[in-house]
Amino acid sequence: MREVAPCDRQARMSETYDPPQTPLDVLHEDAQLIVVNKPSGLLSVPGRGAHLADCLLARVQAAFPQALLVHRLDRDTSGVMVFAQTPHAQRHLGLQFEKRQTRKTYVARVWGRLEPKTGTVDLPLIVDWPNRPRQMVCHETGKPAVTEWRVQRYENGTTRVRLSPRTGRSHQLRVHMQALGHPILGDPFYAEGAARDFPRLMLHSEELRLKHPDGGISMKFRADAEF
């Protein structure tokens, strides 16, 4: 088993939750779907305690009371998220995610010069229980996790890269980039030193492709990264 570097879990848990108060950014709405652009720093769902009640789900339901959760993004990850408008749509979309029938593309900025310009990370992941919610690579008991990457450009000692996860493990992209020696900039769990000293996690869910619950037509939703 290969473990990632230990984290300051106590410091992380004591952080003040101060989510951005930006207006809800709706990318698409119809009778079955609501697609929004989630800001970095906002929880997808409420945490434990009243101070963690503000989340994207609550904000979406304030505008669309019937909205139902389908999937999540990490608090510090921004980008495309889809919500269901009906129980049928929630089941249909949930099965697509479960069966890996959706296609997700992320953009990230990582530390250093990532080479070669394309490649695949195939490293199994498991929760790092003493330091959860951190994950770690474990070849003995980890669950399969595969990420494809394609470099977009190099800039000032960092790399802008497009990431395509073929599995959906927790923190998958963050751990896989760290395992390559190129942690995502601003990552409070897996980056260290200068790589960590950024105002936000430089990870954005840029594009989501799925089949519409009503008729099965293929749809693509996109929100450009702001970094």
DSSP collapsed to 3 states, 36-102: EEECCCCCCCCCCCHHHCCCHHHHHHHHCCCCECCCCCCCCCEEEEEEECCHHHHHHHHHHHHCCCC
CA distance 227 to 211: 29
Position 7 pLDDT exceeds 60: no
pLDDT of residue 10: 33
Q: Which letter does DSSP use for residue 191 in this model?
A: -
Provide the annotated active-site residues: 74
Encode pLDDT of 150-184 as tens digits: 999 999 999 999 999 999 999 999 999 999 999 99
Dihedral of the CA atoms 145, 177, 120, 95 (nearest 10)?
40
Kindly report the average pLDDT of the chain as a whole number. Answer: 94
Q: Which two tokens stand for residue 145?
A: 């996790």
Partners of 26 in the β-ladder: 36
Query: Across residues 131-143, what is the average pLDDT?
Result: 97
Position 6 pLDDT exceeds 70: no
Encode pLDDT of 43-100 as tens digits: 999 999 999 999 999 999 999 999 999 999 999 999 999 999 999 999 999 999 999 9
Question: Which CATH architecture does the domain made up of 15-222 adopt?
Answer: 2-Layer Sandwich (3.30)
The residues spanned by each domain of the chain are 15-222
pLDDT of residue 93: 98
For residue 189, give the 3-state DSSP assignment. coil
